[in-house]
């Protein structure tokens, strides 16, 4: 969507606060020995306190309130009472929701407890790439140029990117135009970021794979070449200068909250 009135910005701010604070509280709450089903139910209660409704459930009838992916799962992991999180796991939580007709989306990967498997450098690279990308986004910047920035920065750090998962427009529904804010330069994409547009920008930084493939459950995505992937996401409003980061309060950039 494009913000055209003050009440639209207010609506997006409220929806974004709901998903951002839910993500933050879920990250605080997660602990070794807990199932992803329990963590998801905790998140659902927080969203309900805001009056917000799960976006993946509303849009796709996803079998969970939030997406929780562990270790080699990239995205769309189904919360389950039989899936137990362990010390040192690479955990990704993606929270998106609708509130009073406005939709917002955010997510983040983190290491649960002690980094015994050495995932933290990957997590840090993903966070840094997202920050670098977002602070280069402004009116009239080519979307493909931001993709090139993300991919080239990842390569310099020894990583690849997942090419078939992208950021997207958002606001009045979960996925809107622009439909593809990729982590690499799409040479034939002539679209540009436009002032007042609301977009969800996200990284998919990988140790080995470059494409996501579905498991037999029809939801969970893993890499085509194995390895691990870190994802971080913010919903922003494009301006002539520094974007308005609507989900900034989720704390994914704060070292003390990782």
Q: Are 146 and 132 in contact (CB under 8 A)?
A: no
Q: Is 202 annotated in some ligand binding site?
A: yes
Using CA atoms, how far apart are residues 103 and 101, in angstroms rounded to an integer?
7
Using CA atoms, how far apart are residues 78 and 65, in angstroms rounded to an integer?
9
SS3 46: helix
| Tokens describing residue 184 | 């690499």
Q: Is 94 annotated in some ligand binding site?
A: yes
Q: Is 98 annotated in some ligand binding site?
A: no
Q: Is 87 annotated in some ligand binding site?
A: no
Q: Is 76 annotated in some ligand binding site?
A: yes
Using CA atoms, how far apart are residues 122 and 64, in angstroms rounded to an integer?
27
Nearest to 74 by CA among 56, 54, 91, 96: 91
Q: Is 175 annotated in some ligand binding site?
A: yes
Which are the contacts of 199, defined by CB distance < 8 A and separation ≥ 6? 137, 167, 168, 169, 170, 178, 181, 193, 235, 236, 238
Q: Is 80 annotated in some ligand binding site?
A: no
Binding residues for a divalent metal cation: 94, 105, 168, 202, 233
Binding residues for substrate: 76, 175
Binding residues: 76, 94, 105, 168, 175, 202, 233
């Amino acid at each position: 969507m494009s913000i055209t009135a003050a009440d639209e910005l207010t609506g997006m701010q409220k929806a974004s606060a709901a998903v951002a604070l839910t993500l933050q509280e879920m990250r605080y709450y997660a602990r070794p020995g807990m199932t992803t089903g329990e963590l998801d139910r905790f998140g659902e209660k927080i969203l309900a306190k805001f009056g917000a409704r799960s976006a993946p459930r509303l849009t796709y009838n996803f079998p969970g309130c939030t997406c929780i992916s562990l270790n080699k799962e990239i995205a769309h992991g189904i919360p389950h009472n039989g899936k137990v999180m362990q010390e040192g796991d690479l955990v990704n939580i993606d929270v998106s929701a609708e509130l009073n007709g406005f939709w917002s989306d955010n997510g983040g990967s983190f290491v649960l407890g002690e980094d015994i498997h050495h995932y933290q450098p990957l997590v840090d690279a993903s966070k840094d790439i997202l920050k670098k990308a977002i602070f280069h986004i402004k009116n009239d910047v080519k979307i493909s140029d931001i993709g090139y920035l993300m991919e080239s920065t990842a390569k310099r750090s020894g990583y690849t990117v997942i090419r078939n998962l992208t950021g997207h427009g958002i606001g009045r529904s979960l996925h809107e135009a622009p439909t593809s804010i990729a982590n690499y330069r799409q040479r034939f994409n002539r679209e540009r970021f436009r002032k007042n547009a609301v977009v969800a920008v996200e990284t998919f930084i990988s140790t080995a794979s470059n494409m996501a493939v579905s498991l037999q459950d029809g939801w969970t995505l893993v890499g085509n070449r194995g390895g691990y992937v870190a994802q971080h996401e913010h919903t922003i409003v494009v301006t002539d200068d520094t974007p308005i980061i609507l989900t900034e309060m989720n704390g994914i950039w704060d070292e003390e909250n990782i």
